[in-house]
Chain A
Amino acid sequence: MSAAKLNHHAIWTIYLAEMSRMRRTFWQSIATPVITTVLYFIVFGGAIGSRIQHVGGIGYGAFIVPGLIMLTLLTQSVSNASIGIYFPIFTKTIYEILAAPLSALEIVFAYVGAAATKSVVLALIILATATFFTPLHIQHVGWMIAFMLLTAVTFSLFGFIIGIWAQNFEQLAIIPSLVITPLTFLGGAFYSIDMLPQPWRTLNLLNPVVYLVSGFRWSFYGTGEVGVGLSLAFTGMFMAICLTLVWWIFKTGYRLKP
């Protein structure tokens, strides 16, 4: 078998095993985001949103939908992918993957693909839940899907790196809870960053999540604080950084092979 030809069968085997591992905890893993979403709609959309009225011509309930979905996509991608690879390293069953005739690319495809699939499924569930609370009209469905997939894959790659880097469960949880969630909150998931006073508004332009949320919101309503091009460029750049890190991990064997 030439190196260029992918070992599809092996990728598919790992992908399915990962999906079935996720199915074992499926109800747990959808319960949290769905309940959180419902709470956000009650609190922000209902209680507070009735006072806020409109943000940039969009009802507040509808305005927060892209941000909520982004929050789920980011946190779920990172945590699914990091647990997905951390688990075999922790239990040492990774030996089998390392001894198999698999390239680094194939291993990444399988684990990152499974993690991204799960977070996209959850994002779609959130989207469906949201329609119970607020009328939704999505302007660019194709772009919305594209943004979802791109974000899921990019942050699953990031999670994959975290999972290899982490040496215990605390380190595994620290990035989603201490980095991703705060940045998403600050990044305009629940408000337009135009509403922020200076200097916070300018400072927030350093927050990468701003670009993700803004681009994603554009795909829904055709408006966004920063340009779509910039959103895509940012996500692409972050993906390139993650890919470089993954390449380095496999090249040096970092924490995978002594």
Chain B
Amino acid sequence: MPPMISVSALRKTYKSGLVALDGIDLEIEKQEIFALLGPNGAGKTSLISIICGTVGIGSGTVRVGGHDITQDYRAARAMIGLVPQEISLDIFATVWNTVAFSRGVFGRRPDPDYIERLLRDLSLWDKRDRRVIELSGGMKRRVMIAKALSHEPEILFLDEPTAGVDVSLRRDMWALVRSLRDKGVTIILTTHYIEEAEEMSDRVGVIANGRILLVEQTAALMRKFGRRKLTLALQHPLAYIPVDLSPWELELEQQGQVLAYAFDANAEDNGIPALLRRMAELGIDFRDLDTSRNSLEDIFVSLVEQTA
């Protein structure tokens, strides 16, 4: 089966002269949840905006469902639903009207039953006759999602879907994303949170400075980069790391007051229980412990080191 989305040699230079995308090659398969992970300004929004048709294509080709987005834009766009990063709604329209409008603009016949199900799934049914201006920020975001899904797209783009979103919406959104995927929808989301990419996606594409640095199965990426760090604040500072603890490759920080252990969170045995037992045997006491995850920045650092 051909890929659902295929981008090749895509370059985009804005009128300001800024090169936002610098040779992107990417393929996304049908029915996968793909996370585009990268820091602010990496080019995530530019990339998905070009695929969706809201930003002009620079050079290169983009195909959606096999349709070229320039030559065969109708067929390509008809497949896509887009939830942009920013909330932008006609605040005077009612929820029902704005969602029905989106469906109509995509050329689909009205289907009140479908819109009703959609609004119920997004907890918007009670608000259907309210004007958008009366809704809270979270509700507005739900309306944006309803609009994107109003024409039953085969591909859904979510640009930074959880930025500034409360827990309940986040939970609902992930449930919705999974149920859409089960119905055969392909989902592409952008994020700068590694946790989000890990939690949601099947595959991750890491993007920085307009280039895709790598594309990996999420599990494989986490094995490679998703290391965590255990830090132990010691009761009594150590001058050096005892030889008995050498298998753990620990590091001594803050003038010997803190022991740090980097471990693989996804491994069968992360080595922590054995480490703590051994420390107890050696009489090294700690008063506090903490674990932290490699940040996105750490990953970029190691990626850049690898590609250099």
Chains A and B come from one and the same complex? yes
CA distance A1 to B106 in the complex (A): 12
CA distance A102 to B101 in the complex (A): 14
List 15 A–B pairs whose Cβ atoms lie within 8 Å, in order of A's numbering. A10-B104, A10-B105, A14-B104, A14-B105, A17-B101, A92-B86, A93-B90, A95-B88, A98-B54, A101-B74, A101-B75, A103-B74, A257-B54, A258-B14, A258-B15
Interface segment out of the listed B1-9, B77-85, B183-191: B77-85
A12 at interface by CB-CB < 8 Å: yes
* Contact, CB under 8 Å: B105 / A1: no
Are A98 and B88 also in contact (CB < 8 A) when A9-B107, A13-B105, A17-B101 are? no
* Contact, CB under 8 Å: B54 / A12: no
B123-154 contact mask (Cβ, 8 Å, vs A): 1 or 0: 00000000000000000000000010000000
Q: Which A residues have a C-beta under 8 Å from some C-beta of B? A: 1, 3, 7, 9-10, 12-14, 17, 21, 24, 88, 91-93, 95-103, 253, 257-258
Of the candidates B74, B90, B104, the one whose C-beta lies within 8 Å of that of A13 is B104
Known interface pairs A14-B104, A91-B89, A95-B82; 13 further A-B residue pairs with C-beta atoms within 8 A, sorted by A's residue number: A1-B75, A7-B107, A9-B104, A13-B101, A17-B97, A17-B101, A92-B84, A95-B84, A101-B74, A101-B78, A253-B56, A257-B54, A257-B56
**Residues of chain B from 103 to 131 with CB closer than 8 A to chain A in the complex:** 104-109
Q: Give the distance to chain A from B196, nearest Cβ to Cβ, in Å.
A: 23
Are A9 and B108 also in contact (CB < 8 A) when A98-B53, A99-B80, A257-B55 are? yes
**Residues of chain B from 26 to 60 with CB closer than 8 A to chain A in the complex:** 52-56
Which residues on B sit within 8 Å (CB–CB) of A92? 84, 86, 88
- CB closest residue in chain B, given A8: B107
Which residues on A sit within 8 Å (CB–CB) of B109? 9
- CB closest residue in chain A, given B88: A92
Which residues on A sit within 8 Å (CB–CB) of B108? 9
Which residues on B sit within 8 Å (CB–CB) of A99? 52-54, 77, 80, 82
B257 at interface by CB-CB < 8 Å: no
CA distance A1 to B77 in the complex (A): 12
Which residues on B sit within 8 Å (CB–CB) of A95? 54, 82, 84, 88
- CB closest residue in chain B, given A88: B90
- CB closest residue in chain A, given B46: A258
Q: Give the distance to chain B from A201, nearest Cβ to Cβ, in Å.
A: 46
Top 4 nearest A-B pairs by Cβ distance? A13-B104, A92-B88, A101-B74, A101-B77
Q: How many residues of B contact A (CB 8 A)?
A: 33
Q: Give the distance to chain A from B178, nearest Cβ to Cβ, in Å.
A: 24
Are A102 and B105 also in contact (CB < 8 A) when A95-B82, A257-B54, A258-B56 are? yes
CA distance A13 to B102 in the complex (A): 9
Q: How many A-B residue pairs have CB under 8 A?
A: 76
Which residues on B sit within 8 Å (CB–CB) of A17? 93, 97, 101
CA distance A10 to B55 in the complex (A): 21
Q: Which B residues have a C-beta under 8 Å from some C-beta of A? A: 14-15, 52-56, 73-78, 80, 82, 84, 86, 88-93, 97, 101-102, 104-109, 147
Are A101 and B82 also in contact (CB < 8 A) when A7-B107, A10-B105 are? no
Q: Give the distance to chain B from A75, nearest Cβ to Cβ, in Å.
A: 24
* Contact, CB under 8 Å: B107 / A10: yes
Q: Give the distance to chain B from A64, nearest Cβ to Cβ, in Å.
A: 37
Which residues on A sit within 8 Å (CB–CB) of B91? 91
CA distance A21 to B78 in the complex (A): 26
Are A258 and B74 also in contact (CB < 8 A) when A9-B107, A24-B92 are? no
* Contact, CB under 8 Å: B107 / A101: yes
* Contact, CB under 8 Å: B106 / A10: yes
Of the candidates B14, B53, B56, B89, the one whose C-beta lies within 8 Å of that of A93 is B89
Which residues on A sit within 8 Å (CB–CB) of B101? 13, 17
* Contact, CB under 8 Å: A100 / B77: yes
Q: Give the distance to chain A from B119, nearest Cβ to Cβ, in Å.
A: 18
CA distance A97 to B101 in the complex (A): 10
CA distance A12 to B92 in the complex (A): 20
CA distance A10 to B14 in the complex (A): 30
Are A101 and B73 also in contact (CB < 8 A) when A91-B90, A96-B105, A258-B15 are? yes
Which residues on B sit within 8 Å (CB–CB) of A102? 105
Q: Give the distance to chain A from B151, nearest Cβ to Cβ, in Å.
A: 9
Which residues on A sit within 8 Å (CB–CB) of B147? 96
Which residues on B sit within 8 Å (CB–CB) of A257? 54-56
Which residues on B sit within 8 Å (CB–CB) of A91? 88-91
CA distance A157 to B248 in the complex (A): 73
* Contact, CB under 8 Å: A3 / B104: no
CA distance A13 to B97 in the complex (A): 11
CA distance A92 to B102 in the complex (A): 14
Which residues on B sit within 8 Å (CB–CB) of A253? 56
CA distance A92 to B147 in the complex (A): 14
CA distance A12 to B110 in the complex (A): 12
Of the candidates A3, A12, A14, the one whose C-beta lies within 8 Å of that of B74 is A3
Which residues on A sit within 8 Å (CB–CB) of B93? 17
